[in-house]
Chain A
Amino acid sequence: MKEIVVISGKGGTGKTSITASFAILADTEAIIADCDVDAADMHLLLQPDFAQYEDFYSGFKADIDQEICMKCGKCKQVCRFDAVRNDNNFYDIIPLNCEGCGYCKEVCPVNAITMIEQNVGKWYISKIKTDTFMVHAKLGVGADNSGKLVAKVKKEAKKLAQENSKDIILIDGSPGIGCPVVSSLSGADYVILITEPTLSGFHDMKRVFELIQNFNLHAGCIVNKYDVNNEISDKITDFCKKNKIDLISKLPYDEAFTKAMTTGKTIIEYEDSEIKDKLEKSWKKIMKLTDGH
C-alpha cells in the first residue's frame, strides 16, 4: 500500500483540482482523503454521499460555575491569554480567547472551573462517484485547526484501505507549513508538490521543501500554468534537479480547468485537452516512481 500526499505550500495552485483528477484516474484502486480540513473542497468534484459521520472533539475550554465561584480572582491573575473577564465582580471566560491550558482550574481554590471538551468538527466516510471511499472532514467555524482532525482523517483512510485491500491512499494535503501539513505528511511514501511559476509560488515551494527534508521524504513536482512565466518555470526545474525532486510534469495555463470545475467535474471527465493527456501521463509516472512501496 502506498500513501501519496499532494501539497502546495499555498492555496490556489490547483492542488485540489489535480488531486481530484488523480482520484478519477486511480479509479477503484484508491482510498481518497481530503486533509485540507480548513476549507475542504474535493467533495465538490468527487460527489461523496456523506453517508457516515462522527463528531470530532479536541481541545478544551474553561467554564466557571457561578454557584461555586467565590470571586477571589485567582483565575484572572494566572491566565496569560486575557480569557477571564471580571464584570462587576462576576468572573467568566471569554471562549474566543481561552487556550484551554487549564491553569485557572489548577489554582481555583474551590474547584469552580471545569474544562469542557470542544466539538471542533465532523469527519465523514463517503462513497464517491468512482465507487470507492473518501474520508473527509469539516472543521467547525473558528475551531482550532490543530492538525488532530487531519491526523484522524488520515488514520481512518488508512484503516479503510487495509479493510478493503486498496493499493493506494491519495491525500489532498493541508496548505501552509504549519501543524496541519506536518500531520498530512507523516507516514507518507511520496509527496507531490504542486507549484506555480510565480515569485511567491517558487518561494513557498522552497519553504515547504525545507519541511519535507525534515521528514526525509521522496518528492515529485508538478508545475501548473508553467507558461505564465517561463523564466521562473526554468528556475523551478533547476531547483528540482538540484534537490533530487522528480519533475513529473509541466501543465499549461488553461481555463478549461476552471470550466470543468464549474460543472462539478474534474478535467479528466470534462473534454479532451492537452492537460487531460498530461495528467494521465503524470499519474502513470507517479505509479512507476512509487512502485515497490
Chain B
Amino acid sequence: MKISIASGKGGTGKTTLATNLAYLISQTCPVVLTDLDVEEPNSKFFIKGNKISEKKVFKMIPEWDKDKCILCGNCQKVCQFNAVIKLWEEVLIFDKLCHSCYACSELCPKNALPMKSYDVGKITQFEYHDIHFVEGKLNVGEEQAVPLIAQTIDYVHKKFPHDMLLIFDSPPGTSCPVIEATKDADYIILVTEPTPFGLHDLTLAVEVMRELKKDFGIVINRYGIGNDDVITYCKNERIPLLGTIPNMKAAAEAYAKGELLSTAIPEIKTALNKIIQNLKVCEVL
C-alpha cells in the first residue's frame, strides 16, 4: 500500500502528518516513511534514527571529447533544452539544464559526446524504532527534482517488500515533482489549512488529483484558526474529510523543537488516531 501526503503549497503540515502517521502506525505494523520533498526534506527533524546507508544519486550528462569532435554542430541542433552549445571551436555543456535524454550523445556522428555520471543529490536510509525512513535530498543549485524523486521511489521499491505500508511525504505545489511523487500512489492525503490561502491551494491540488484519477481525502491542519470554507468545499465536492488537527501554539512550539506532536501533545495524538481510524474505514489501511 502506497500513501502519498501532498498539499497545494508548502507549510500546511504535510511533514507533520507524514511523520506522525508513520510513528503511530509503526506501533502496530512496520512502516516505510520516505521524504520526497527533495529540495527541502524536513522529515528528518522529527524522525531522527540511525543511519543505515547512504548513496549518491547521479544523472547522466554528456562530456565533450575535443579530439573526436568535428564541430558539425548537430548536438546543439538536437538539444531542446539549450544544454549544449557550440561556440566557435568549442562545445559547451550546461550540466544543470541537461535532461539526460541522450540525443546529443547518440546522434553525434563522431561519438564525441559520451555520457558520464554527474552527482545531483543523495538518498539516505535511517531506522527509528519500527520506522524505516528514507530521505532524498537534492544538492543546492540543482534544478531538476524529478529524476531524484524517481530514483528515491525506485530505491524504496527495491529495498522493501511490496506488501509493506509506504508513506511518501511529497513536495508541495502542483507541477512535475508532485506528479512524480503521487502518480503511483494508491491513495493521497491532501493537507490544508482552514484559511483562504489554504482553500485556494487545496482546489489546485484537487484538480491535479482528479486529472491523475486518484483516490484522495483531506486533512485540515491548524483547525479552528480561520473559517469553515474548507469543510463546505469538501461537502460540496464530496471529498472525504479524514480529520482535523487542532490549532495550538503549543503545537508550533513542539514543531519548532523537532518534537513529534503525537508524543508531545495528547489532544493531537487523539486527533491523529481518529484520522488513522478513518483511513481504515475508507479501506486505505
Instruction: Tell whether A41 pairs with B256 under 8 Å between CB atoms, given A12-B11, A102-B80, A176-B39.
Output: no
**Total A-B residue pairs with C-beta atoms closer than 8 Å?**
168
Whether B172 pairs with A11 at a CB distance below 8 angstroms is yes
Give the docked Cα–Cα distance between A255 and B251 (Å): 14
Give the number of chain A interface residues (Cβ < 8 Å).
Answer: 59
In the complex, A258→B11 CA distance in Å?
14
Residues in A with CB closer than 8 Å to B40 are 9-10, 176-177, 200, 203-204, 207
A175 at interface by CB-CB < 8 Å:
yes
Using CB atoms and an 8 Å cutoff, list the residues of chain B in contact with chain A. Answer: 8-12, 15, 39-40, 42, 45, 78, 80-81, 99-103, 106-107, 138, 140-145, 172-176, 179, 183, 195-197, 200-201, 204, 207-208, 211-212, 225-227, 247, 249, 252-253, 255-258
Which of chain B's residues have a CB closer than 8 A to the CB of A167?
Answer: none
Q: Report A's interface with B, CB cutoff 8 A.
A: 9-13, 16, 38-39, 41, 44, 60, 78, 80-81, 96, 99-103, 106-107, 115, 139, 141-145, 147, 175-179, 182, 196-201, 203-204, 207, 210-211, 214, 225, 228-229, 232, 253, 255, 258-259, 261-262, 264
Task: Tell me if B258 and A199 are in contact (CB < 8 A).
Answer: yes
Pairwise interchain contact A253-B252, C-beta atoms closer than 8 A: yes
* CB-nearest residue of chain B to A41: B197
Query: Is there an interface contact between B195 and A177, defined as CB atoms closer than 8 Å?
Result: no
- Partner pick for B174 among A16, A141, A211, CB 8 A cutoff: A141
Chain A residues lying within 8 Å of B106, measured Cβ to Cβ, are 78, 103
A210 to B40, CA, bound (A): 13
* Secondary structure class of chain B's binding surface, majority of residues: loop
A103 in contact with B257 given A10-B11, A16-B197, A39-B172 (CB within 8 Å): no
A98 to B211 CA separation, bound complex (whole angstroms): 16
Question: Please, which residues of chain A bring their CB within 8 A of the CB of B204?
Answer: 39, 141
Query: Roughly how many angstroms separate A182 CA and B143 CA in the complex, as a whole number?
Result: 9
Contact indicator B256/A80 (Cβ below 8 Å): no
Q: Which of B15, B174, B247 contacts A38 (CB 8 A)?
A: B174
- Give 9 A-B contacts (CB < 8 Å), ordered by A residue: A39-B9, A96-B179, A101-B99, A102-B103, A106-B103, A107-B107, A175-B172, A178-B143, A210-B140
Q: CA separation between A187 and B201, bound complex, in Å?
A: 28
Q: Which residues of chain A have C-beta atoms less than 8 A from B211's C-beta?
A: 141-142
CA of A78 to CA of B101, assembled, Å? 9
Asked whether A99 and B39 contact (CB < 8 A) given A39-B172, A106-B107, A175-B10, the answer is: no
User: Bound state CA distance, A143 and B178, in angstroms?
Assistant: 11
Known: A214-B141, A262-B227. A142 touches B179 (CB 8 A): yes
